[in-house]
Amino acid sequence: MQTMKDLLKWVDEVKNLCQPDRVYWLSGSKEEEKAFYDELVSSGKAIQLNPLLRPNSYAFFSDPSDVARVEKRTFIASKKAEDAGPTNNWIEPNALKKTMTSLYKGSMKGRTMYVIPYMMGPLHSEISKAGIEITDSLYVVVNMIKMTRVGYDVIEEIKQGKSFIPGLHSVGAPLENNEKDVSWPCAPIEHKYIAHFPEERLILSYGSGYGGNALLGKKCLALRIASKIAKDEGWMAEHMLILKITNPEGKFKYILGAFPSACGKTNLSMLVPTISGWKVETVGDDIAWIWRKKDGKLYAINPEKGFFGVAKGTSYKSNPNAMKAIEKNTIFTNVALTDDLDVWWEGIDQEKPKHLKDWQQQDHDPSMKIPAAHPNSRFTTEATESPVLAKEWDDPEGVLISAILVGGRRPSTIPLVHESLSWNHGVFMGSMMGSEITAATISDDIGRVRRDPFAMLPFIGYHVGDYLNHWIDMGKDIDPDSLPKIYYVNWFRKDAHGNFLWPGFGENSRVLKWIFERVDKQATAKLTPIGYIPELDSLDLSGLNITKKTFKKLTDVNVYEWLKEVDSIRIYYQTIGQKLPLALEEELNHLKHRLKMELYEMKKHKMGCYLSPIGHILYEHENHHLYGLSIEEDFHEESFVFENDDMIEHELSDYFHGDLKNFDVDVVFEKGTDFQKRVWNQLLQIPFGQTKSYQDIANAVGNPKAVRAVGQACKKNPVGIVVPCHRVIGKNNKLTGYSGKHYIHLKKKLLDMEKAFLR
């Protein structure tokens, strides 16, 4: 919407639809805010905390059904379903509006309708966006005051021609006939809707009072709607921290960081360095808007004005600056309360008191295993409460970005830190980031990586493929030296006993120092297939009990693990569909090629290469004995020197021309368990052009129950084609396995070829 006239008309339409008892426009004054808290306390919706222990702070407690973002009830109502993509829930926009209009009708009866003019980003910034949220929740009002720039200043900018993004929110609990209100009104889950209309720049939220669903300036505007606006206008709205790091000489840089939940994003943004003379300050802890200026460089602002952080696990050990920021003037949601009216949660520094009121305001027994604070308990406080807030946090010109971090919680495979080879390679790193599912979740998923590109999975307001392509486009037509370096960090690598190899928290400043010095071309690095990793003497480990052996484990690039990672990424990319950027497919292929080259250089035997009708066949050999064979469809032959074996080449040629049914070359199994070798030898007995089931092979090796183990043995077969695992099929003649789902087409090609030669 564009004008003040549009705003007044829309407010009037909402008033007529929702039928509130009164309408109140926020001014943004401190007196107004104080009156809101007084009303919340007197109505029983908030508890004022002990002013001696936690001055000017308040606690709220939600309905048990309304404690987090409800992703299943969050919708991207683009005009076309394909524009929402595979990561979003889609409903046809007109149908969704009809449903929500019926819900909004009379939804604010007995309540006050608050009109909140707010700005995302500093006032007068070229990239800032104005919003208007209409809500019937005073909890939402006081949180929006802390999280955004609220008041008449925003109205003045709208009067001067700044467009605004409308957002309507109702808790969905009208009060009829002087009905008494509850402390946390909300609607049942099936009536909750958090809807975004990206082309129309409209947000409609109904039924939930929780932060991410109801504070419409946060995820709804600042990420989902803003990400679509950013794509259309040529900038980026990202789920990223912004930190300022200063070295002992006073030189500073600004770094962005994208991390999925439970990876320490807020902790990193407020880091207390353990290395002498270095300082970290916060520009933003959650969201960054990034744009290219006329100088061809990328700048960022923090569009928010406050912190909406997870309380659980926050302590003076994990994040002392966050703890200092919430000592006063803070809203707490779903924490536990002590008898002297202070806050408590699991992971805070002090021991659990003998008595607590839990997040549902019930007496809590310390011996109970049920947490006293909700795992998603929150604090809301203004950025200016932080003792490490950078002076540039509110600068309308933004800050120049020197580096971008991506990361996840990975106990293996991913090293402590590695630097991208190029902008596109960095985008690839961001596209495949995520966290590994642990034993705390469903057992079948243990070890699987939940991919979360740039930590934006729940927040991309359009197709994920278009989003990743927009990242690629942002790097075009810019001098590579002007682009930020991209780094993948992993604080969570573990040893064989499940212990973290890296101490984390403040010690992460050592990795930031290495990144700082890499940007300045000072720190050394070792080139690996996945990018640049620190040399031992380039990462400051002074004062840490990190041995050379531990450092090697922290920075190890295990080729075999990474080849599995490539397969996993390829399967994930298939879910994106045809809109996956070609540049990312190429980066994945290049990574696999570099890993294969590393692997071949590690081999102790000679390597040969035969160009077959289905791709390059690479084989490991010595004295006419065959030790390994694999099919590579995307192989670049010119980058490696091969030593071919005439006899093996001749047999492969005869096989692909239909002149050879049984290979004569001697196969040597250097690795593998006893069981696997029995399976591989049994595969050699399957005639050309015929097939056996996994059950048949299990029976043949004398272990009928080992069908799954047979499948794993086939997957680990070191000598493909010659040891014909492609001739093993699933039940009902179904093609399965063959080193991952994306290789099934090779299995089909080989079987079709053999059957054709038998005709």
Residue 157: CA count within 13 A, CB half-sphere: 23
Q: Which residues contact 359 (CB under 8 A, 6 or more apart)?
A: 61, 334, 335, 336, 372, 373, 374, 377
Q: Which two tokens stand for residue 645?
A: 């074996």
- Give Cα 263 to chain centroid, integer Å: 10
- Rounded CA-CA distance 470/86 in Å is 17
Amino acid in position 699: N
Q: Which residues contact 375 (CB under 8 A, 6 or more apart)?
A: 312, 346
Q: Which residues contact 522 (CB under 8 A, 6 or more apart)?
A: none
* DSSP per-residue codes, 38-61: HHHHHTTS-EE--TTTSTT-EEE-
| Beta carbons of 124 and 158 less than 8 angstroms apart | no
- Rounded CA-CA distance 219/70 in Å is 12
Phi and psi at residue 650, to the nearest 5°: -65, -45
Catalytic center residues = 263
| Angle (CA) 165 166 171, round 5° | 140
Residues present in the chain in total: 759
- Rounded CA-CA distance 362/653 in Å is 77
| Beta carbons of 700 and 684 less than 8 angstroms apart | no
How many C-beta atoms surround the C-beta of residue 537 within 10 A?
Answer: 9
Work out the widest C-alpha separation in the chain, in whole angstroms. 94
Rg for the chain, CA atoms, rounded: 30
- The residue ranges of DSSP E strands in 285-367, in sequence order, are 288-292, 298-301, 306-310, 330-333, 336-337, 343-344, 356-357, 363-364
Residue 602: CA count within 13 A, CB half-sphere: 10
**Which 3-state string (H, E, C) describes 345-388?**
CCCCCCCCCCCEECCCCCEECCCCCCCCCCCCCEEEEEHHHCCC
Which residue shows structure tokens 């190029």?
Answer: 422
- Rounded CA-CA distance 629/723 in Å is 9
Residue 705: CA count within 13 A, CB half-sphere: 0
Q: Which helix (H) or strand (E) holds 167?
A: strand 164-170
Which of 655, 659, 568, 661 is closest to 617 using CA atoms?
A: 655
| Beta carbons of 337 and 360 less than 8 angstroms apart | no
| Beta carbons of 57 and 332 less than 8 angstroms apart | yes
| Beta carbons of 141 and 214 less than 8 angstroms apart | no
Q: Which helix (H) or strand (E) holds 7?
A: helix 4-18
